[in-house]
Structure 1
Amino acid sequence: MDAAVSPAASSLSDFVRRLPKAELHLHIEGTLEPDLIFSLAQRNGIALPYASVDALRQAYQFNDLQSFLDLYYAGASVLITEADFYDMTMAYLQRAQYDGVAHAELMFDPQTHTGRGIAMETVFAGMARALRDARRLMGISGYMLLSFLRHLTEDDAQATLDAALPLREQYKDLWIGIGLDSAERGNPPEKFARVYARCKALGFRLTAHAGEEGPASYVRDALDILGVERIDHGVRSEEDPALMQRLLTGRIPLTVCPLSNLKLCVVQDLQQHNLARLLRQGLMVTVNSDDPAYFGGYIADNYIASAQALDLSREELAALARNSIEASFLPDEQKRALAASLDAALAAA
């Protein structure tokens, strides 16, 4: 098929789901669907301020990042036991398998839970059991990226790291990296310089949100001050031509989340999104779902919606999947194996 021709709508979904891909920007607490929230609330005796699943779903209308975060943190309040964290994580992994995800790097926010009195071990244990079951039963590999909440203090982040480090050996096959999420505005990267320096010295892989609501300078500072290896979002990098050249020549990955950007009004219409423009300039952009339960689309939905809105060809969709494998924190040998499986899928398409 000619690279300039968009995939036919009738076959687009099948083509996308058959592409082996990695999901690199996924907040596991953001996968809590309304029906699971209600189920866990009932199991744990928690009263919700919504009369029904439909009423909760109707509340998923956001003006900006903060309006989403307010509901996001409220939804996470139903997570109490190890079984809750397991059920949430496994529900995502089952959906990810359907969407063709071969490897997932899950961001999680322990401060959201420890601040409510949930033990750090409970959070780790539930997620890890689901990831190990998925690896054994479904063939999906996965990592855990402990993410600090940037609206809290760096001292709070340091304390969170202190609480988690005793678990590192037990979960060394899964917990390999650190992230930085929550509200960008008023919380620049340099706020977390010391804790990131500590994490780098400890050998963690590093990523951080930047350039979603925050300016392009936050992307540059995440690279220079925090020492991150990839940027979560990064769509405002276009404001700085020198930064764009740096991203291009350095092959620095951007984990872009198109439907999230639309839902949070980063763009007003998906046709305005710069995903295709970044890709066609040669940047290592990837497609991800961010908080899919809240933003109306899992990873395949993001690929499909982007293809339709931005006239992405099959070749470009395959390039996005290939970028996701290259941008992952997997060892090179596993990257090569996944790239080979992508080649095989394309040959059979």
Structure 2
Amino acid sequence: MTTTNIIDYIRGIPKVELHLHIEGSFEPERVFKIAQRNQLTVKIEKPAPQNSEETTAIQKLSQKARDIGAELIQGDDGSIQVVFESAEQLSQAYHFDNLQEFLDIYYAGMNVLQSEQDFYDLTMAYLERCHAQNVLHTEIFFDPQGHTCRGIALETVINGISRALDDGKQKFGISSGLIMSYLRHLSEEDAINTWHEAQPYLDKLIGVGLDSAELGHPPSKFKNVFAMARSANIKVVAHAGEEGPPEYIWQALDVLKVDRVDHGNRSLEDDALVNRLVSDEMTLTICPLSNNKLQVVTEMNAHPLKIMLNLGLKATVHSDDPAYFGGYINENFEAVQQALGLSRNDIYRLVLNAIDGSFMTEKQKMALHTKVAAYHKAVL
């Protein structure tokens, strides 16, 4: 099969997405459209630096602002504000070299989300992408604490996203689930408060997750709040082994008792862990473009996805924060296929792994298996 043909195969095969942060699908044009509707500016604010590392980060951000022509406001104490005046400027700022630079711009976009309609529009735009890329089922993360800390009611967030997911089912036939993800740099007490606040909306959730900066915030920190979710028969997932060590994956398995591991790249550093993941048939939600952009892998041709498949791991492919990392699910499949020379059977296996690792009913999984198998057979 030629490269062109396998790209067509990727674009045509029905797919399932299991690792997508809805706030990470916020394209610059839509950020500005919603900001204008809410009469808000789009800006990054950095407080006065407390150490040399923060000073360097502010100097770098200041230079980026000058380079792209954004307004730079400098405080006498060393604090700065970078105010973006157009979607084009913001798009240029979507280039970053580390996780903190990514989070700075990520939260700048998040801050303009104010109303239920804002969350609806954000989610519907993503579902339109899903429809265009033959995604038939998606399970999306949202970060409630990133909104409630700004004074946005949890009800506003959940209702806006859920209404769009319901309409997406009617309009595009895309089934979906919503996962409430805790920010791990915050305390477990904060996560527990969020869990209690979410009680009236549990019927709209399929799971809880754990994301944000991994290092220094092991899964065990959230043992109690995850036990609460399990006792309510809510599925649990956690980001582990992206930048954090293999031990974080062990904790996700044995302390949080997750149903799925998000990322999990660094499992390959521990043979016993690989054996455990294979034995448990534990799904790993891999995000190739994100891994490359955040330097989890320095070159795409060094990505471990093919090794994972060869070891029998239940690896899958997803887009993570596609507006920031350079592509949605098809672009992730295409990038890793071209870098690693994945075969059509590899792609087929990755798609089937995602179906199996989803939180759909067994009946839904069987129906999607049948549809994907029919597609695969038709292009033989």
The TM-score normalised by the length of structure 1 is: 0.96
Report the 3-state secondary structure (helix = DSSP H, G, I; strand = E; otherwise coil) of the residue aligned with 1:38: helix
More moved, 50-59 vs 244-253: 50-59
Whether 1:230 aligns to 2:264 is no
Separation in 1 of the partners of 2:275 and 2:130? 33
Separation in 1 of the partners of 2:269 and 2:105? 30
Whether 1:31 aligns to 2:25 is yes
Query: How far is the alpha carbon of 1:250 from its aligned partner?
Result: 1.1
Query: How far is the alpha carbon of 1:17 from its aligned partner?
Result: 1.9
Separation in 1 of the partners of 2:332 and 2:272? 28
Report what 1:116 is aligned to. Answer: 150
Separation in 1 of the partners of 2:233 and 2:97? 38
Answer whether contact 1:38 1:53 (CA < 8 A) is retained. Answer: yes
Report what 1:254 is aligned to. Answer: 284
Separation in 1 of the partners of 2:115 and 2:7? 36
Query: How far is the alpha carbon of 1:20 from its aligned partner?
Result: 1.3
Whether 1:52 aligns to 2:86 is yes
State the superposition RMSD in angstroms. 0.9
Answer whether contact 1:177 1:205 (CA < 8 A) is retained. Answer: yes
After superposition, residues 1-349 of structure 1 pair within 5 angstroms as 7-48=1-42, 49-168=83-202, 172=203, 174-349=204-379
Higher relative contact order (CA 8 A, sep 6+): 1
Query: How far is the alpha carbon of 1:63 from its aligned partner?
Result: 2.1
Report the 3-state secondary structure (helix = DSSP H, G, I; strand = E; otherwise coil) of the residue aligned with 1:285: strand
Separation in 1 of the partners of 2:239 and 2:98? 15
Answer whether contact 1:17 1:98 (CA < 8 A) is retained. Answer: no
Separation in 2 of the partners of 1:11 and 1:330? 30
Gaps spanning 5+ residues in structure 2: where? 43-82
The TM-score normalised by the length of structure 2 is: 0.88
Query: How far is the alpha carbon of 1:46 from its aligned partner?
Result: 0.5
Report the 3-state secondary structure (helix = DSSP H, G, I; strand = E; otherwise coil) of the residue aligned with 1:78: coil
Report the 3-state secondary structure (helix = DSSP H, G, I; strand = E; otherwise coil) of the residue aligned with 2:243: coil
CA deviations on 1:174-196 (whole Å, 9 max, x unpaired) are 41100000000110111100000
Separation in 2 of the partners of 1:20 and 1:260? 22
Query: How far is the alpha carbon of 1:14 from its aligned partner?
Result: 2.2
- Percentage of pairs with the same residue: 50
Answer whether contact 1:82 1:125 (CA < 8 A) is retained. Answer: yes
Report what 1:3 is aligned to. Answer: none
